[in-house]
Amino acid sequence: MSLPNVFWQRVFAGIYNLIRALAISHRLSTKDPRASSTKPKEPRKPKAPKAPKLPKVEKPPKSQNKPPKTQKRAKGTKEGQDKSKAGCKSGGQQEKITDSFQKVKRKINRFKGMTEEELLTKTLPDILDYNLNVVIIGINPGLMAAYKGHHYPGPGNHFWKCLFMSGMTDDQLSHVDDQSLPKKYSIGFTNIVERTTPGCKDLKSKEIREGGKILLQKLKKYRPKVAVFNGKCIFEIFSKEVFGEKIKNFQFGQQPKRIPETEVVCYVMPSSSARCSQFPRAQDKVHFYIKLKELSLKLHGKVTTADVQETEYTFDLEKAQDDAKKMAIKEEKYDPEYEVAYGGCYTAISNTCSSSTPATRMYIFDEKNHCGINITF
């Protein structure tokens, strides 16, 4: 071995021994983490034994003879004040609210003390005569019609308004004038079913079918010129029962078939009720009343050929109100039962129409475009 190699081996060995000595001294001066991990763990203390469970004690049966619960009164009464004072003394515990605190709906006296059960026993008589020009056919009487004893008495019904706007009557009439229409204007009234109900949905299908047969006998007996069905559903029921077929491609107005064994023409117009969604306003229905008037004139040999019909008239509203008091034309406006039923809105709406200045109204209908305009100025 050469001298330089031996020299370097000894130098490296000295450096190695020096580093090792420094490391050992440093380890001794600080805690050895490996020494702490090697310490044995202390054994866990044993858990104390659980106490044995005690047997369940049966509850005594509830006594059935409990004192009856008393209803609470409002705080304004003497008993309520006494109970509230007693509650303050007894630890401030609040009693449960009973049914006496529930709000009770106030019933509206629409029929002057007459109950609905009493109205359901009433019927509305027909207003018919031989060889009338028009007979208006409804489904059955409602509660208001049975109470008033007249046809179409509802304040929201458009029948009497459309009758006047179309020119079928000279004056604005109301339900109290229904008995005078056969002699004055040759117009009658009847229904398919005589029984009074709150709504037409309360009718049974059997009595509607039987009512259609009875209506057929009435039309054969009195033979009016035109049988007017006030509503699409009324004619559909009648057609299925009398003609034995369901209507296809229905259109309002004159129908292709006539009453069997007669020359009575069938005419269908929208329901005069304000609930008719297809024709919600009176001016939407006037066109069918005008066409009914033209059909009635045509059957009497009077034909109108104008495509556009114009009706213009003027009147004094203040004078009309004075006449109404004498002739009872506008009884609906002063009917207190309507005021209660409509929550005060009926008179408010009617008062907005009053005016001391004369008004001019014009209704123009375009037959080609099937539209009408009602103008007030």
287 is catalytic: no
- Rounded-to-integer distance, Cα 187 and Cα 183, Å: 8
Tokens of 263: 């020359």
Contact 172, 320 (CB under 8 A): yes
Catalytic residue (one of 140, 157, 191, 230): 140
Q: Which two tokens stand for residue 272?
A: 């005069």
From the list 17, 26, 133, 151, the catalytic residue is 151
How many Å apart are CA 142 and CA 1, to the nearest integer? 136
* Stated length of the chain: 377
CA 158/CA 271 separation, integer angstroms: 9
229 contact partners, CB below 8 Å, separation of at least 6: 137, 235, 238, 266, 267, 268, 269
Interatomic CA distance for residues 157 and 272, integer angstroms:
6
| Cα→Cα distances 133→173, 174, 300, Å | 18, 20, 9
Angle, vertex CA 182, rays to CA 152 and CA 292, nearest 5: 70
The question of whether 5 is a catalytic residue gets the answer no
Q: Which residues are catalytic?
A: 140, 151
